[in-house]
A = this chain, B = another copy of it.
Amino acid sequence: MAAAAATGRLVLFVALVAGSAWAAQKEEHVATAPAIHALRPLLGSGSDLGVPCDSWRLAVEANNKRNWKTLPASCEDYLGHYMLGEHYRRDSAVVVDEAITYAEGLELAGNGTEVWVFDIDETSLSNLPYYAKHGFGTKLYNATSFNEYVLEGSALVLPETQRLFNKLISLGIKPVFLTGRTEDKRAITVANLCHQGYSGWMELLLKPIGFKSTAIVYKSGERQKLQDGGYIIVGNIGDQWSDILGVPEGGRTFKLPDPLYYIG
């Protein structure tokens, strides 16, 4: 029930934002015809003008673009369409379908030792309401305002990931959340996950306050501890390459789309 309600909220949110901003944008383009032409390269039909935003996004997803701080300002409209329309959802669905096919094909030991690692932000929960108000990744990251948003506990479920999460539980594979969110955000994170319909995870691993190193070092270290504790990490899913690179990666890794920000 909670999951269904959450999905409803996301759909509503998408409809609202799409309905207002894009209608306004369309009107503006009718009035200023040349702007339509200028938008073409952003939508994937050309490459002579501006940044080819679809190629830029592909380069991010295939880990060719690294250590970027913001996406090109000229791609804000393109990214808005991508994230709020059905394209992002569809790209996520194909990844999750693949993950479920893989999980269903596993031969489990039957003693409950298999776990699957889930990242949280832009993997299990979506911060799209925040990014929609802050230029879809075209503005520099602002830790203060983003933390305020996280503490609201209002991030939305990513329905495709929740579908995987629930399927794994039904198969007997235990979900473990492993997030770059710090330990002081445990209560609000649990509340946010519960409100968005997640339940039945085995552990929620948050980063110790003051931890000094990269996400790869932190996350692979935590996965090592899980392994040392006798668990078998059969799968690992995240939206950043730093979620899934670094030994031990897990039996198989899945990269969800995220063109909004980069964590190294």
Contact = CB atoms under 8 A, between A and B. Distances in A.
B86 A47 contact: yes
Given A44-B87, A93-B55, A62 B62 contact: yes
Contacts of A87: 44, 54-55
Interface in A42-90: 44, 46-47, 52, 54-56, 58-59, 61-65, 86-87, 89-90
A51 B57 CA distance: 21
A54 B46 CA distance: 17
Interface of A: 44, 46-47, 52, 54-56, 58-59, 61-65, 86-87, 89-91, 93-95, 98-99, 253-255, 257
Given A58-B257, A64-B99, 18 more contacts: A44-B44, A47-B93, A52-B90, A52-B94, A55-B87, A55-B90, A55-B93, A58-B61, A59-B94, A59-B95, A59-B98, A62-B255, A62-B257, A63-B253, A63-B255, A64-B255, A65-B94, A65-B98
